[in-house]
């Protein structure tokens, strides 16, 4: 595998990791909001 391939792999992994981090952050906020709403309903 050539060096440019390694760079491209790194770039793609970085992009996926960033999107995954944002999604996980959004999911944590969503679960928190769901919990608050459902606790309020009881």
Partner 1 sequence: MTSTTFQTHALPAEWRDFLALTKPRVMSLVVFTGLCGLLVAPTHLHPVLGFTAILCIALGAGAAAALNQWYEADIDAKMTRTASRPLPAGRMAREAALQFGVGLGTFSVLLMGVATNWFAAAVLGASILFYVFVYTIWLKRRTPHNIVIGGAAGAFPPLIGWAAATGAADTLPLLLFALIFLWTPPHFWALSLFVRSDYAKAGVPMLPVVAGLRTTRIQILLYALPMAAAAVAPWPLGLAGAIYGTAAAALSLVFLALAAHVLANRATEPAAMAPEKRLFAFSILYLFAIFGALVVDRWLLP
Does residue 3 touch partner 1 according to CB under 8 A?
Answer: no
* Whole-number Å distance between alpha carbons of 6 and 9: 5
∠ CA 19-22-25, rounded to 5°: 150
Distances (CA, A) of 42 to 22, 33, 36: 31, 15, 10
Q: Which of 8/25 has CB closer to partner 1?
A: 8
Site for partner 1 in 7-36 (CB under 8 A): 8-9, 12-13, 15-16, 19, 30, 33-34, 36
Binding footprint of partner 1 on the chain (CB under 8 A): 1, 5, 8-9, 12-13, 15-16, 19, 30, 33-34, 36-38, 41
């Amino acid at each position: 595998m050539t060096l440019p391939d390694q760079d491209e792999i790194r770039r793609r992994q970085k992009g996926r990791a960033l999107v995954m981090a944002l999604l996980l952050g959004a999911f944590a906020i969503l679960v928190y909001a769901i919990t608050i709403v459902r606790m309020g309903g009881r």
